[in-house]
A and B are shown apart, each in its own frame.
Chain A
Amino acid sequence: MAKATSMDTHLTTPEALPLEENAFGLRWWLAVIISAALVIALFAALFYTALTGIGVWGNNIPFVWGFDLANYGWWIGMANGSALFACLLILWRAPMRLAISRWAEALALAAAICAALFPVFHLGKAWLSYWMVPYPAHTGLWPQPMSPLTWDFWSIFAYLLTIASLWYIGLIPDLAMLRDRARACLKQRIYGLFALGWTGSSRQWALQQHCHRLLALSVIPFLIVMQSIVALELAVTLVPDWHDTGLPVRFVVSGFASGLALAYFFAGLMQSILPEMIDVDDDILDQIGVFTLGAVYLSMFVVGLTALLEWLAPPDSSNSLTEWTSGSGAVLTWSSLFLSKVVPQLLWFRKIRRNRYAAIGISAAIASGIWLDHLSTIILGLAHGHMETAGNLYAPSIIELIILIGTLALCLLIMLIFARLLPLIAIYAANEKQIYNQGERLP
C-alpha cells in the first residue's frame, strides 16, 4: 500500500488540485503549444477543403472515400476501446479505476469528437451537413431511413451524448469540490454552475453513483452498435470486398484493441508529461498492457476467422483474400498485421509492459496497425469493383495528412486542457479510498 500512500498525499494537499499553477510545468506548456499549433493547422485544412472542394484531397472515381472514412472508423474505434475500458472499470469497481476511469472517459469523448469531424467535413457541401438532422424543413423532406449514413448520424449523435453524460455525471462531485475550494468569485460561479447545486447529501451521492453506473452499463451496447454502423456503411454496399457480414465484428474488436492501446498510450504519455497530476504507476501500466494484449488476441481471432472463411468459401471472381494478401495492396495488409498483431506480442513480457516508453511505442504500433487496416479496407475494397480494377489508386494529399495529424493533436489538446481545468482522477473516489486505507491501517 505504499504506492497508494504516495498518491493519497498528493490528492489531499489542496496545492495539487487542478488550476494550481505550479502543477503545470514547462512540459505541459510545450505540449499545449505544439498540439494547439497542429489543431490550428487542422482547422485551416478543414476550412480550406470546405471552401475549395474535396478535390484538394486525393480522392477520385472510384476512390470517393479514402483517409476521411478510414480516419473516421479508426477514431470511433479508439473512442470505443477507451469507453469500454472506463465502463468496465466503473462496473467492476476495480481498484485501478481511481487512477484511470476519469481520463479514460475523457479520452473516449476526445476521440469521439475527433471522429465526429469527419462525417461533416468529408461532405462535398459540409455546410449542409445539418440536412442529416430530421428537422421540419420547408421542403417536407426527411432524412432517408434506408441509408447507413443516416444510421450513422443517429449513432454518433447518441454516442457523443452518452459518453459526454457518463463523463459529466462522474465529474459532478469533483466540480462541487472545486467550487468549494475556489478562491476567485468567477471560478466559484463557473464551477458552481456545472456542479448543478451539488451538496454532497447521501441522497445525491446515491443517485449520482446509480446514474453513473447505469450510464456505464448503457454505453456498452452502444460501442458495438456505433462501430457496427461504421462498418455497415461499407458492408451494405455492393462493393465485393466490403459486402461481408463479418465486417462489423472485425471493426468492433479491432476498435477495442486500438482503444485500449490509446488508453495504454495515454497512460504512458501522461506519466511522462504530467507525472504530478496523474498517478499511473507501473502496476497500472502492467494491467492495461494485459488488457490490450487480450483485445489484440480477440482481434486476431476474428481476423483469422475471416481469413479462414474466405479461404474455405467457394472461389468467386472477387477473390479478395488473394487480392489482400498478394495483390497490389498487400503491403498495407501485411504491415497492418505486423503492427497490430505481431508487435503487441512483446506485451507478454512483464518488464516491457511496465515500461512507459515501451507502452507508448507498442500502443502506437497497435493503433497505427489498426489505422492501416481501416485504410486498406477502404482502398482495396474500392480498388476492386464489379466492372473494373482501378488503375490510378488513391494517394492522400498533404491536406489529408495535415487533417490526420491534426486530429491526433486535437485529441491530445483536449486531454491537456482537461487536465488543466478538471481533475484527471476522481477526487471523491480517491478520498473514499484514502479513508478506507486509513481504516485498514488502524490496528
Chain B
Amino acid sequence: MADSTSPFTDHTPKLWRRLDELNDEQRNITERAKKLFPQLTKSMLIDRRTALRLMAASAALAAASGCADNSSKASEQRMGGKSKGPVEDRYTLLNQNGTAFGVVVRTVGGNPVKIEGDPDHPASLGRSNVQAQAALLSHYDPDRIDLPRLGGKETDWKKCREFLASFSEKGIGEGLHILLQPTASPTLERMIREVKQRLPATRFYQYRPIPLNNIIPPIDYQSNNLVISFGCDFLGAGPGQVRHAADYAEFRRNDRQESKLIVVESVPTLTGAQADEHVILEPRQLEQFIQALNEGDITNIAPQYRDLANAIINEPRLLLKGNGISANAGEIAKSLGAVELQSPQLFDDSQCADISALHKALEQDEADHLMILGGNPVYDAPARLNFAQTLSRSRVASTYLGSEWNETAGLCSNYISETPELAQWGDLRSFDSSVGLRRPVTSGTGMTAIEILSHLAGIPESGEMLVRKTYDAPDLPVEQLAQKIRSSTNAANNMNPPPSGKVQKPLGIMPDNRFALVFAPSPHIWDGSLANNSWTQELPAPLTGLAWGNAASIAASTAEKLGLKDGDEIEISLDGASIKIPVIQLPGQAENTLGLPLGYGRKMAAIGSVIGHGVYALFNGNFVEQGALVTKTGAHHDLIFADRFMAADDDKAVRWVTSETEQLRRKEEAPSFFDPEYRAEKQWGMVIDLDICIGCNACTIACQAENNIPVVGPEETAAGRAMHWIRVDRYHRGPAENPDTAFQPVPCMHCELAPCEPVCPVGATTHSSEGINEMTYNRCIGTRSCSNNCPYKVRRFNWFDYQAPDRNVGMSTEGQNPRVTVRDRGVMEKCTFCVQRIEAVRLGDDKGGEDGMPVTACQQTCPTQAIIFGDLADAQSPVAKARAEPRNYSLLEDLNLKTRTTYLAKQTREV
C-alpha cells in the first residue's frame, strides 16, 4: 500500500492517532503487550457485574422464555396496521444552557421518537448538536419522579399548589429566598417582577456554572477574512455550536485561500483543530503574547510565533475571546483595538443577586425558606461557597424544582418535579437574541419555574396562560402566537452592560512546579446536567476519545516530566481544595497546564453516578486558574475508550491537499470482473467533506437515536463492544506539541464489491439493486465472519440482548423509531444509509430534503453539512457533483472495493 510510485502519494507526513505511535522505535515488548492486552494482565475472577449477569441469566433460564426471536418487536408494536397513532412533527424550543435551540420533534401516537433541528430557527438551521439529540433520551428518563414530595413524603399536585400559594398569603415574602437558574425567558423575567411586586421582601439569586451571558453571537464573516480566537471555542459544544459551525463552514467552503483562522489557546479544542494557525501557549505565556501584541513589540514572543504575531498586528481582523483564556488576558486583549464581538445580554440579571450573596444570607440565618428553581447548585456551585455544607447546616426549609432526583434534591426538604422539557410551555431567547415559543410536543406532569413563581405571586396560572399574558395574546391560536412571539422585539430591553471581567489574581511569576488549570464544560454531558443520559456518556469525547468518564488532559512532555502515563491518578490542589483525577495525554496541549472537563463525578445521577471525576471542587467560576500543585498519587484508573484503535495502516486515510488542482480522484478504473451497470434507477451514495467536519459527534448520536442503537454501558464499552454505527476517527499529523488534527466520520462504506457479503453462509448481508449493502437481521445467525472481512470495521454485533428490559440503559420502547427494527441478541448490525428514510420517501410518507431526496439522520444533523447523501445515478445531484470533485477519494482505495461512501480531502493553505 505504501508504493512510492503511486500518483496519489502526497507529501503529507505520516498520520498518527495516539501519542505512543510517535515514539514507536522504543518498542518495549512487555510494555506494549501490557498496553495491548490489558485484560490479560488482570486475573480472570468473576466480577460483580458478571455475577449479576450470571444471576440474571439463571433467572432468564428459569423463566424459560426460550429462544424467541424478538427482532421484530419495534415494528410489531407500533407499525404495520397496529400503529399506536399518527406520526406528527411538532415544533418547540429546547433549553440549551438557558438559551433557545429550535427543534422539530417527530411524535408517533404522541410519543417523541426523534428530534431534528428547526430549519427556521437561528440557532439550529435545521441541524442539531449532541445535546439536542440527547434530549430525546432524557425525555424517557426512567428515574424521573412524577409526583411532588413535601417534607420527604410523596403528595399530590393539589397539596403542592396549596403549599406554594401559602407564601403569597402570609406577609411580604420576608425570609423567602429564591435561587434561579438563569434562563433567557421574557416570561421568567416578568414573573420575577410579579413576585417582587407581590412579595417585595423576597430575594432572588441566580447561578449557572457555564454563564449564560457570555456566549458569542453569530459571527459575520463578510468583512473579516482573518479571525482570531483567544480561547474562544465557538465550534465546541454549546447552544451556539450549530450556527457557528454552519457559518464557519460557509466561510471556509467559499474561500480557503483567502480566509484564515488563528486560534490561540492552552488546551486544544474543536475550534483549535480547525485553525490554520494554532498557537499553543500556557495561560501566563498567552497573557504575555497578548500583551506583546498590544504593545506591538514582538521581541518577547517565542520565535515560531513571531511571523504570526506580525500578521495579527498588521491585518484587519475579527477578535473572539472565550473562556479558554484568563480574565486578565481578556482584559488586555480588549485594547488590541480589533473588531470585537460583544456577547448579548440574554437574561436580565439585574433583579437577581449572585449565589455568593445567598451563601452569606444562609450563613447569617436570614432565610426561612429557600426555593431552588432548577439547576444543581449542591453539585456545581463555586467551590469556595461549599454550598452543600452551608445548605445542610442551616435550618432553612428548602424546596427544589428539578427534572431529576439529584444532589440538590437530596438536601432539600421538598421536591417539585419539573415538567418534562418536551412538555413545557414557555418562551426563550436564542443566542442571537430572537425570541421563540416553547410549547409542549407531548404530555407530561410537573411544574415549571414560571408556574411556581405565579403561585408565589398569588396569580396561579398555567404555563400557557403565563406565556400568553407576556405577549398579551390570551386566545390567539398557537401558530399565530408563535408568529407573534417570533416577531416581538422583547429581546434586549432592560439589559445591563456586560459585567466586566472578574478580578483575578495577577499572573506574575509562577513557580515552575505550579500548574495552570483550564476548565471547560464536557463536550457531551455539558455542566453535568446530562450525566444521567447514557447516549452522551457513551459517546467518545472528540479529542480524547474517552467515554463513560473524564480525565485531566496534559501535555505529553509534562506527563513525562511527572512520570505519568494515561490513566495515572494525580492530586491537584488549589487554594486548600484538592481533587484526584486520572490524566490523559493530549497532543497539542500547552505544557504545565491541565485541561479539566466539568460535569463528571456526580453522586446522585442515576446511571451517571460515580462516573468520571468531579472537578467542581476546584472551580470558582473562573475557567482559567493559576498556581495549582500537582502530585502523582500512584493510583491508576482504566480509562474507557469507545474504540481504542491505534495506528492506521492506511497513511492516506485522511488526506490534505493544498489546492483544488490536485487530482486525488482516480481517473481510470482498475480492471475488474465487476459489471458496473446500475440495476436500478436510484443509486445511493454518500460523500463526507473532511474539510468542514469539525468532529462534534452529532452524527453519531443522531444515528443512535434514529436507528434504535442500544447503549451498552461502561463495562461493555471498555470491552470494545460499543454499538455506534458511525464513528468519528481522529487523526493527527506533525509534531505532538502542535499537530494538525483531522476528524473522519466512518459509517459503512456500502462497497459495491462488499467483502462482507460473500463470506456470510446464510446470505444475511446482501446488496440491494440500489447499491445499499443490506443486513437482513432475521436471517443472521451470528457467525461474525462479515465483521472479520470488513476492512473498515464498521459492523457491530449484539453480544448480549442489549435491548432487554433488565439490561437496557438506553431508549425505552416508546421512544424507539418505529420504522427501524430492534435487533436482538446474536445478530450483526451496521449503517443502512437510513434505508427506512429512503423507503419512507419512496412511499410518500416523508418529504425528504429540499430536493425531495431522502436525507440520512447523520446528514440532517451535521452542523456543517459535511455529509452529502443522494442519488449517484443523477449527475446533477449534490452527491454526484461532490463525488466528481478532484478532492474525492475512497478510504483504503487500494482494496478496490468500490465504496459508495467517499471522502473529500482536507484543504490547507498554500505555503
Contacts and interface: CB of A to CB of B under 8 A. Distances in A.
Given A55-B716, A132-B781, A327-B32, 16 more contacts: A58-B39, A64-B787, A64-B788, A123-B782, A123-B783, A124-B780, A125-B781, A144-B761, A144-B763, A146-B759, A150-B761, A384-B649, A386-B649, A387-B648, A387-B653, A388-B645
B779 interface: yes
B44 A131 contact: no
Given A144-B761, A331-B33, A125 B67 contact: yes
Interface of A: 48, 50-56, 58-65, 122-125, 127-129, 131-132, 141, 143-144, 146-150, 153, 233, 236-240, 316-318, 326-331, 382-398, 401
B680 interface: no
A389 B647 contact: yes
A240 B2 CA distance: 14
A53 B759 contact: no
A124 B801 contact: no
A221 B6 CA distance: 44
A81 to B, nearest CB: 26
B795 A236 contact: no
A345 B769 CA distance: 59
Contacts of B875: none
A62 B783 CA distance: 13
A396 B36 CA distance: 14
B33 A329 contact: yes
A425 to B, nearest CB: 40
A147 B649 contact: no
Contact of A52 (B60, B781, B796): B60
A419 to B, nearest CB: 34
Contact of A392 (B720, B755, B827): B720
Given A48-B57, A53-B799, A236-B759, A392 B826 contact: no
B442 interface: no
A144 B825 contact: no
Interface of A (DSSP majority class): loop
A131 B311 CA distance: 69
A317 B798 contact: no
Nearest to A388: B645
B797 A64 contact: yes
13 contacts: A52-B60, A124-B783, A148-B759, A238-B791, A328-B29, A329-B36, A383-B36, A385-B791, A386-B792, A387-B793, A393-B37, A395-B44, A396-B44
A398 B60 contact: no
B785 interface: yes
Contact of B720 (A61, A122, A132, A316): A61
B354 interface: no
Contacts of B895: 238, 386
Most chain A CB atoms below 10 A, which of B645, B650, B755, B779: B645
Contact of A65 (B32, B46, B788): B788
Contacts of A148: 759, 785
Nearest to B641: A391
Contacts of B801: 53
The 8 tightest CB contacts between A and B, nearest first, are: A124-B782, A124-B826, A391-B644, A55-B799, A60-B720, A388-B645, A395-B39, A64-B784
Nearest to B716: A55
B196 interface: no
Given A386-B791, A390-B646, A124 B798 contact: yes
Given A61-B721, A386-B895, A391-B644, A53 B755 contact: no
Contact of B39 (A55, A146, A150, A393): A393
Contacts of A239: 788-789
B760 interface: yes
A53 B826 contact: yes
Contacts of B645: 387-391
Given A52-B800, A53-B798, A132 B787 contact: no
Interface string B4-35: 00000000000000000000000101001101
Interface in B792-810: 792-793, 795-801
Interface in B745-776: 746, 755, 758-763
A144 B788 contact: no
A147 B788 contact: no
Contacts of A317: 1-2, 649-651
